[in-house]
Structure 1
């Protein structure tokens, strides 16, 4: 058994709640910009004083509508300014926010609102309203339903409803929640079974965000700093950045449509971004494909190799050689500056979570001039429970423990966590809570290793370990992460439990497929013809070969099948946080899996 900890850098308040942050900001500098919102295709700054005033208006409406201290209020929307506004307004009414992914089905909505006993809900669109109404007969506690894009719009409707509530009333209500009271119930993605509501307290967020802000001080302490949030705020990682930005404070922006991300990055010009590995893979693959289509593919590949070599050399005692430094300066003028410009031109650091980034990609971005700080966490740990420090990142790991917390590796390799940032239990599910917690330690279900400096490396999931017929233990994530980095691969899943060898199911990236077809003289072929094309299968074999480099021969993928569909949230094969529902995939594609072993 091995463990590692770092001393806390932030003193968690003995009491109080997250609304103290926006009141502090307004009191200390009411004219400071804390948020920017999009209006008529332009970014409009919102000062600390303006934000507090609007939060209070909406909170008054919630109070006037009958929301009491401790009540649960559901919030279902894409990432937008109103999400953050409603979150703090719900807290200012003394209530508890229950996030719901905007892609959730009526069945999922019914479960989350019913299990949390939500008394009110704010949704984004009329389609969301209809989804809630379709299951309203199963939600006896639900009294009010507002729509952000409705007529009237939810924010205006709530502000009008609370017109007769005075400031003293909302101030008293805002101070009712104590540090150990629930701030939010975040329902796990549910890769197996019903999602469980993780109870995260105000203390959890103070401990989490306070120590993140202090440990990443140059990123969060710059008065000109800004972060553009495009991940779902319904996910705990997006929520971490939202609260940390307000705590710092730095300028916070929201992007609802990821397809418009490039344009929004150029106009907002953040100093920091938050993403998942798939975002960073897409940026790399798109840049490489664009270079090839312009006849500069070889130059891009040389530049990428230079960036990776330069980053690796930074970790050596000698550092980059004179020749490598010269090549790096050359490619900075030719390639790297253009890549940084795509991200707005000011970004120096990014935070990546949700899945492993991959060592090669991490070195590429650092070599380009964008340090991607990979971290690790779960809903139960209020997002990041480990992350790479800005001044000593160790690429290939998920960093050191959150200051003030402890990471322990059990005798069987499981990662155990301890600290104030942890959840207090699963809502209305004592049995699940007791299974996950023991003597204050949270059992993550992940397998990992700690090195001599306390950097954590995640090696797999206990429940996802495959055991082949020959008795070989295989951690799927190691191979899958490598294969998924290939531009043609959208998703992949390794199979082989109880089988004579390891195999894989692959889906093809429909965005990249037409570009591949054009580059290989196959533009006129249909999608079905392309999926059966020998050259495409050979390209996918390269992705499999790359994945196999990370494991022994006994663990390597011997055969693969290309599926004619996609793993999506709508199909039920992945969660909103992009995790594979392995049991569902195994069941739905049982015939294809059997065919691999005939």
Structure 2
């Protein structure tokens, strides 16, 4: 197996004059381009400058926007054999301090430095001993032609500590193995071609491992181009980011591949519906700036099957998958050749799956993590035989396709003793125009209620009627909400009631709804 780091290093040298990164500007005509040759030189300079401050093997934090410096730092840390801890800018000071505590230094770009300073101002003791270094200044300080120590990739090692959503304010750190990423990428390439990753559009934070894999390592391994949004444009999942605003960006970027969160799949389906008069080629041109659809993967939360089916009918396949950081991201994935809508596909070639007695999904693979750097009640359990029990309830059909039913710990048990997994019904309600997000509640109650975040311009009275009609048509009686609580979607509300990756903090939402009703 070719190590992915070695492959990227070879591409940087062999394709020095080709474009590795394009950052779009706020105007249509201009943009910033970085060649593979420039990327190699700047990564080498950064690794050389960093080696003078902390030795290979040290733990280094990365606090930066989705930017060229973020990419340079990530590659330099991989090539230099450091342990990287990327921290989302949307984290609170308490969350950031928890992840950055073991770091020898923290690397930042301009936006990352502003965020780091804000964390330090609100929690000075927590950040007092952590040096903060500018990525750009480190690169510029290195002597011309300087190259840092080149790490060998023969032995396995922990190369990253990735945050994952937890139930406390101290997020779990998932310790990612270099050889685990090798195994994952080898499997992903079994269902994709280099042409798929000629031009990848980045839409979500790089601090998410799935985006590092699909937006950076896949394109760079193929000699493709990573397209970044204009500087200052928040990625989806950050406060202030709106899925509908990304449609214009898609047209400008002309992507060959994207990984979309459910919110953007819903927006895409609505846009395609509004363009019902266009044929497939014209529709793709209008949506993606190209005559054929890009490779579109979807994950992070369930997408309603009827939403994916609507896009498929218009010639735009969406390939839903499933994963978790504990498996270095992807576990299963639908493919162009085998896309069973409603499922999350078959396990990747290096992954084995089975169900426990209660339907919990267990996985065993070559890409499993090396354990947690912290603890949390939501941590996954690995048994003596090496099976990781995910906490997700699933079904596996005779052909091997997996369908995720819901989270084991999110199971709602009504006053009548009925068990309801809320995620599939929430995904269905989310497909109703005007719904920005929805969370079902009802533990110990006779019926379910829905907390609904409304999109801009939505009328709650009309939206209630649409949700009631939708439930009667598409959901069983036990899944349907009988009451609805509406609130306008807003960044501050999202930050308080949802995790950085967009998952609802269900207990916080229950308290919020009770307070509103009081």
Above 0.5 in TM-score?
A: yes
Deviates more, 1:571-580 or 1:32-41: 32-41
Query: Would the aligned equivalents of 2:219 and 2:226 in 1 still touch at CA under 8 Å?
Result: yes
Residue of structure 1 aligned with 2:336, choices 370, 385, 390: 390
Uncovered stretches (5+) of structure 1, i.e. residues with no partner: 1-10, 147-153, 292-299, 304-330, 514-529, 531-535
- Match for residue 238 of structure 2? none
**Would you say 1:160 and 2:140 are equivalent positions?**
yes
Query: Would the aligned equivalents of 2:260 and 2:296 in 1 still touch at CA under 8 Å?
Result: yes
Q: Distance in 2 between matches of 1:482 and 1:404?
A: 31
**Would you say 1:60 and 2:40 are equivalent positions?**
no
Uncovered stretches (5+) of structure 2, i.e. residues with no partner: 236-241
Q: Secondary structure at the match of 1:452?
A: coil
- Match for residue 522 of structure 1? none
Query: Would the aligned equivalents of 1:93 and 1:174 in 2 still touch at CA under 8 Å?
Result: yes
CA deviation map 1:497-533 (0-9, x unaligned): 11122222212112x43xxxxxxxxxxxxxxxx5xxx
Q: What are the equivalent positions in structure 2 for 1:31-180 lying under 5 Å apart? A: 31-38=17-24, 41=27, 42-64=30-52, 66-114=53-101, 116-125=102-111, 126-134=113-121, 135-139=123-127, 141-146=129-134, 154-155=135-136, 157-163=137-143, 166-167=146-147, 170=148, 173-176=149-152, 179-180=155-156
| TM-score, length-scaled by structure 1 | 0.77
How far 1:281 moved relative to its partner? 1.1
Q: Aligned in 2, Cα 1:52/1:92: closer, same or farther, shift over 3 Å? A: same
Q: Distance in 1 between matches of 2:473 and 2:408?
A: 22
| TM-score, length-scaled by structure 2 | 0.89
CA deviation map 1:388-430 (0-9, x unaligned): 0121111111101011111111111001111111211101559
Query: Would the aligned equivalents of 2:180 and 2:328 in 1 still touch at CA under 8 Å?
Result: yes
Q: Aligned in 2, Cα 1:209/1:282: closer, same or farther, shift over 3 Å? A: same
**Would you say 1:240 and 2:185 are equivalent positions?**
no
Q: What are the equivalent positions in structure 2 for 1:38-437 lying under 5 Å apart? A: 38=24, 41=27, 42-64=30-52, 66-114=53-101, 116-125=102-111, 126-134=113-121, 135-139=123-127, 141-146=129-134, 154-155=135-136, 157-163=137-143, 166-167=146-147, 170=148, 173-176=149-152, 179-217=155-193, 221-222=194-195, 225-241=198-214, 242-255=216-229, 257=233, 261-286=246-271, 288=273, 291=274, 303=276, 331-333=277-279, 337-338=282-283, 340-345=285-290, 346-429=292-375, 435-437=381-383
CA deviation map 1:458-512 (0-9, x unaligned): 01110011111110001111211111111211221111111122222212112x4
How far 1:362 moved relative to its partner? 0.8
Q: Distance in 2 between matches of 1:105 and 1:340?
A: 40
Aligned residues: 501
Q: Secondary structure at the match of 1:120?
A: strand
Q: Secondary structure at the match of 2:170?
A: coil
How far 1:565 moved relative to its partner? 6.1
How far 1:275 moved relative to its partner? 0.8
More helix by share: 1
How far 1:119 moved relative to its partner? 2.5
Q: Secondary structure at the match of 1:21?
A: helix
- Match for residue 500 of structure 1? 446
Q: Aligned in 2, Cα 1:203/1:364: closer, same or farther, shift over 3 Å? A: same
Deviates more, 1:486-495 or 1:560-569: 560-569
Q: Aligned in 2, Cα 1:265/1:559: closer, same or farther, shift over 3 Å? A: closer
How far 1:43 moved relative to its partner? 3.6
Q: Aligned in 2, Cα 1:332/1:432: closer, same or farther, shift over 3 Å? A: closer
How far 1:286 moved relative to its partner? 4.8
Q: Distance in 2 between matches of 1:71 and 1:87?
A: 14
Residue of structure 1 aligned with 2:465, choices 525, 541, 556: 541
Q: Aligned in 2, Cα 1:539/1:265: closer, same or farther, shift over 3 Å? A: closer
How far 1:75 moved relative to its partner? 1.6
Query: Would the aligned equivalents of 1:204 and 1:422 in 2 still touch at CA under 8 Å?
Result: yes
- Give the CA RMSD over aligned residues: 2.7
**Would you say 1:588 and 2:498 are equivalent positions?**
no
Q: What are the equivalent positions in structure 2 for 1:501-516 lying under 5 Å apart? A: 501-510=447-456, 512-513=457-458
Q: Aligned in 2, Cα 1:370/1:62: closer, same or farther, shift over 3 Å? A: same
